[in-house]
Structure 1
Amino acid sequence: MTIFFLTHMSICYLFLFLLIKFMSSKLRPPLPPGPTPLPYVGSIISMLRNKPTFRWIHRMMNEMNTKILCVRLGNVHVIAVSDPDIALEFLKDKDWIFSSRPDSMSGYLTSGGYLDTVLAPMGDHWKKMRSILSMDILSGTRHKWLQKKRNEEDDNILRYINNRCKINHGVTEGFVNVRILAQQYTTNMVRKLVWGRRYFGKGSEDGGPGKEEIEHAESLWTILVYLNAFCVTDYFPWLRWITDFDGHEKIIRNAIRMARKYQDPLIDERIQQWQDGVRTRQEDLLDVFITLKNTPLTTDEIKAQILDLMLAGFDNVSNNIEWAMAEMMNNPRIFDKAVHELDFVVGKDRLVQESDLPRLKYIKSCVKEAFRLHPVAAFNVPHVTTANSTIAGYFIPKGSHILVSRLGLGRNPDVWEDTLTFNPDRHMNGHKEVVLADYNLHTFAFSTGRRGCPAVLLGSTMSTMLLARLVQGFTWELPLNEPHVDLKENLHDLAKAKPLLAIAKPRLPHHLYPTN
């Protein structure tokens, strides 16, 4: 009798559970449109057949004519968004639900076990690190404190180009690889701000990067490529214990090892100097990290955050300036307008300075237009939802990965006219100053909400100063037999397919160019 009663009750409870689940699924909104997933594996097979994944996702959004797409990979719902209003619901209106980060193999390794800020999930550690960045590292006061170091790197890039103009390589004088130039500027700048030094080694004779700096930059680029590369084991975590399914883990481990080979010994040495009393005054950001009083950091946390800063400062600015220069060189009217603005605001008897930037509206517009049309990555760093939610009338399950499309926002025909045309004039706002950050998400340079980039001021300053110095300091021509710049993108990322190669010639009085 007891067994019969228990069996009967169990059947009733099971029926009630299934009924409630069925009714709730009927009442809740539908998932966003997307491909029909297979049982268990979802659309992972289609993903592997359609590399690169970001182009496959954008192609599906176009074919389905949707601004929000749901692709199930394993048991994870990946939600891609290309509409600014929907993106704002995720990143601003309901960011307390969508501000965490998903667990990933590459993110875990890069952050040293989520000891950084960018990749750390929401929680006490993230709040601590974010507060340190906002108050102690990237504040307006700290920005002013570091201005002399930024000025030195603004001068150094002119020195390097001017040296190139004096060297005859058997082909032509002033031959410059703008991609290497921009990457050198960004890595030198961050190294100077963090360590107070431009190079890990001695650099090259012409003032360019040496072997150490080239290896370091290459390792940073590799980490960024594989950091959010749709790794299969991120959707089937149990595979991590069996095999490196797509080879991502080996590649990113080697890149992290190379980057830290140059960074970590300098951090260890500096910490020891403070402990021994050899160093007693703050001179750079590493000193600030080491001497924090209210929220002291461990050595591992400092190392993770320094790698964070190097990665954040490396690709966005350099990619932006290479594309801006390429587009401007293809359109002499735009380039001439930028030159005329610099000549009018600054003149030719001194070098452009940071204090001039608020009045350089057209230069800033060229930078902003490059961010719009040529983002450094197809998507933002993924967010993960911590609860079931509804966005734009669609059900977003807990644990979904949220990807905001930088490409979709910047090339959205509902927002921008003639989306594939480089037109800086679209950002000119009468007498108002041009601002690179766009909190309406019509462009996606620095994001918004709790996970918005805390380095907006530094990133904006670096981008605008570099372009201003290049345009003011030199005339730029294409090599012989190249009538125009090839603007094709890489297939596997959004970088220019071929590095921009150009001939630079000084256009200012000789004495203005730094010589030492």
Structure 2
Amino acid sequence: MMISIFAMVINTSFTPLLFLSLLFLIFMSKYLFLIMMRTSTSTSTTRLPPGPIPWPIVGNLPELVKNKPRFRWILSLMDEANNAGIACIRLGGVHVILVKCPVIAREFLKKHDALFASRPITMATHYSSRGFLSVVDAPLGEQWKKMRRLVASEVLSHARLKWLLHKRVEEADNLVRHIYSQCCHEGGALVNVRSVAWHYSGNVIRKMMFNRRYFGDGREDGGPGFEEEEYVGAIVTVLFLLNAFCVSDYMPCLRWLDLDGHEKQMKRAISIINKYHDPIIDERIKSWRECTSSPDRTSQDLLDVLILAKNSNEKPLLSVEEIKAQVADLVYAAIDNPSNAAEWALAEMMGQPQILTRAVDEIDRVVGKERLVQESDLSQLNYVRACAREAFRLHPIAPFNVPHVSVADVNVAGYFIPMGSHVLLSRVGLGRNPKVWDDPTNFKPERHLGDGSSKPVQLSEPELRFISFSAGRRGCMGTELGTEMTVMLLARLLHGFTWTLPRGVLTVDLSESKEDLCLAKQLFLQAKPRLGAHVYPSC
């Protein structure tokens, strides 16, 4: 073909248009030749995972832009393209490796964990981490190692969580008080389960972080005020954008155009969060670093822990920006998973009342009806834990885990993974994989009870048959806290109240939202107190 093209040049009068056309043909010939080599190569060590043929330069970005929501196009592509459990799409110059087979997932995050321990540089993570200063989104390097050591040993350790137990109890009580105040009259009341779940999770992490429930005055019944609603709404926006596929992340030269409008949305959401965080943090830092009149003063919350962390020279370990970045990082990580799992679990139970009855009976057997369930009871609530675990499996909060980036060329599962590839484990593909799970689309908590032993059911899944808290070096360090928050939220809802469908509603619509994996419609249920009035926290 190349000879034919040069023959045309010799035998045809030259024009600029013809010259450009010939350059295009030469380029396309080279491209098609590479594609042919890729598809015909039989040696597995030089073969990328299967996937759609990319366009020159832009890769599969045209398809990504055309098909919305983008994550659903990628999920459908994985289902249609192959049965190998791994696929590859190229977005700009980035190979995005998609995985839905747990065996291959374990090869990435266990066997080759060290090679996939970095993170991508994206617009959303740049803003959310104040320039990659916090632990979750920092690329592999000294900053990540420093923050990881601090968070693991000082912030989310078992001892630290035990120290903060009373703050979580306060917020569990506030949750019950808030719902009870709405439904204590005859006939109960219609309760927005998603709203109370979101704000419970927000209250817990705010109390642990800032030693305060509200940024404003809140409501007398324990519910959120305007400030908390604005704040949680901004966090929801940030979490949504962190999971979005932004075109400029793969074609940085286009970032100034903000084609998706994501950067504008992210700036607005971050500014709202900073409006509430920064004054508290600045004042607390000033109080600790400038005030010496209270030598016996002790830390009260996680913000104090971050401020008081010292390096080997007994100097502050973290800068002001690092403290602010890590505070936000911990808040983002604490809110969405517990609330989503509880809402989905309760929605599924409405369609399978035998599950609801069994879970409530277990709580009554372990706790009784003369007090509210406490964290010390949770290890004995295996069926409730199984319900939460099943919600994580079937209804993950995000379609993919946080991306891993390869720091070197490597062969995984017989395929070539180039350096710089983004590896995404499909939470949906793993958790609903029919090769792994029997009847994968049905909510069946019993599948997690195993041999019926008394050992507590774990919400984590180290074998990556689904993803709740991920695994490997970049796995979630807040697994213990996330487990306690999720099971406590679900247990308090089940123990404290009788839940029924609203009048005139026959079934709960279990459809997923088109834009994310939440319920398409927020869950509204009729709630009535099921315990004696003396058990409920007073206003």
* TM-score (norm. length: structure 2): 0.89
Deviation of 1:352 after TM superposition, in Å, equals: 1.0
Structure 2 counterpart of 1:496: 519
Structure 1 counterpart of 2:4: none
CA distance in 1, matches of 2:94, 2:68: 19
Structure 2 counterpart of 1:7: none
Contact 1:478–1:484, Cα closer than 8 Å, also in 2: yes
Deviation of 1:474 after TM superposition, in Å, equals: 0.6
Alignment-mate amino acid for residue 43 of structure 1: N
Contact 1:68–1:82, Cα closer than 8 Å, also in 2: yes
Contact 1:87–1:441, Cα closer than 8 Å, also in 2: yes
- Alignment equivalent of 1:128, drawn from 146, 159, 170: 146
Structure 2 counterpart of 1:462: 485
Is 1:481 matched up with 2:504? yes
CA distance in 2, matches of 1:384, 1:473: 45
- Alignment equivalent of 1:105, drawn from 104, 123, 130: 123
CA distance in 1, matches of 2:437, 2:184: 43
Is 1:439 matched up with 2:462? yes
* Post-superposition CA distance 1:105-143 (Å, at most 9, x none): 111111100011100001111011011111000001001
Structure 1 stretches of at least 4 aligned residues deviating more than 4 Å after TM superposition: 24-27
Is 1:151 matched up with 2:169? yes
Alignment-mate amino acid for residue 495 of structure 2: Q
Structure 1 counterpart of 2:229: 214
Deviation of 1:349 after TM superposition, in Å, equals: 1.4
Unaligned runs of 5+ in 2: 1-29
* Post-superposition CA distance 1:137-193 (Å, at most 9, x none): 00010011001111111111010011011469xxx6422100000001000000000
- Alignment equivalent of 2:529, drawn from 500, 506, 511: 506
Structure 2 counterpart of 1:366: 387
Change in 2 beyond 3 A, CA 1:191/1:167: farther
Deviation of 1:265 after TM superposition, in Å, equals: 0.7
Contact 2:243–2:398, Cα closer than 8 Å, also in 1: no
Contact 2:432–2:441, Cα closer than 8 Å, also in 1: yes
- Alignment equivalent of 1:309, drawn from 330, 342, 366: 330
Structure 2 counterpart of 1:75: 93
Contact 1:117–1:129, Cα closer than 8 Å, also in 2: yes
CA distance in 1, matches of 2:386, 2:466: 12
Contact 1:323–1:374, Cα closer than 8 Å, also in 2: yes
Contact 1:162–1:174, Cα closer than 8 Å, also in 2: no
Structure 2 counterpart of 1:347: 368
Is 1:227 matched up with 2:248? no
Contact 2:188–2:529, Cα closer than 8 Å, also in 1: no
Is 1:256 matched up with 2:277? no
CA distance in 1, matches of 2:367, 2:373: 6
CA distance in 1, matches of 2:74, 2:253: 25
Alignment-mate amino acid for residue 49 of structure 1: K
CA distance in 1, matches of 2:377, 2:336: 25
CA distance in 1, matches of 2:69, 2:116: 26
Deviation of 1:278 after TM superposition, in Å, equals: 6.2
Tell me the SS of whatever aligns to 1:121.
Answer: coil
Tell me the SS of whatever aligns to 2:257.
Answer: coil
Tell me the SS of whatever aligns to 2:423.
Answer: strand
Structure 1 counterpart of 2:213: 198
- Compare 48-57 and 417-426 and name the one that shifted more: 48-57
Is 1:282 matched up with 2:299? yes
* Post-superposition CA distance 1:49-79 (Å, at most 9, x none): 1111111111111112331110001111011
Contact 2:184–2:529, Cα closer than 8 Å, also in 1: no
CA distance in 1, matches of 2:293, 2:127: 33
Q: RMSD between aligned alpha carbons?
A: 1.6
CA distance in 1, matches of 2:293, 2:308: 14
Is 1:139 matched up with 2:157? yes
Deviation of 1:331 after TM superposition, in Å, equals: 0.9
Change in 2 beyond 3 A, CA 1:278/1:331: farther
Structure 1 counterpart of 2:310: 293
* Post-superposition CA distance 1:293-339 (Å, at most 9, x none): 23610010000001001100111111111001101122110000001
- Alignment equivalent of 1:44, drawn from 56, 61, 65: 61
CA distance in 2, matches of 1:36, 1:176: 49
Alignment-mate amino acid for residue 45 of structure 1: P
Structure 2 counterpart of 1:10: none
* Post-superposition CA distance 1:223-246 (Å, at most 9, x none): 011113111111111222x31121
CA distance in 1, matches of 2:199, 2:167: 15
Tell me the SS of whatever aligns to 1:78.
Answer: strand
Structure 1 counterpart of 2:135: 117
* Post-superposition CA distance 1:365-418 (Å, at most 9, x none): 000000000000000011111111111000001111110000011101111111
CA distance in 2, matches of 1:204, 1:65: 53
- Alignment equivalent of 1:426, drawn from 434, 447, 455: 447
Is 1:329 matched up with 2:343? no
Alignment-mate amino acid for residue 238 of structure 2: I
- Alignment equivalent of 1:416, drawn from 437, 445, 451: 437
Tell me the SS of whatever aligns to 1:134.
Answer: helix
CA distance in 1, matches of 2:127, 2:210: 23
Tell me the SS of whatever aligns to 2:472.
Answer: coil
Contact 1:68–1:83, Cα closer than 8 Å, also in 2: yes
* TM-score (norm. length: structure 1): 0.93
CA distance in 1, matches of 2:477, 2:306: 16
Deviation of 1:442 after TM superposition, in Å, equals: 1.1
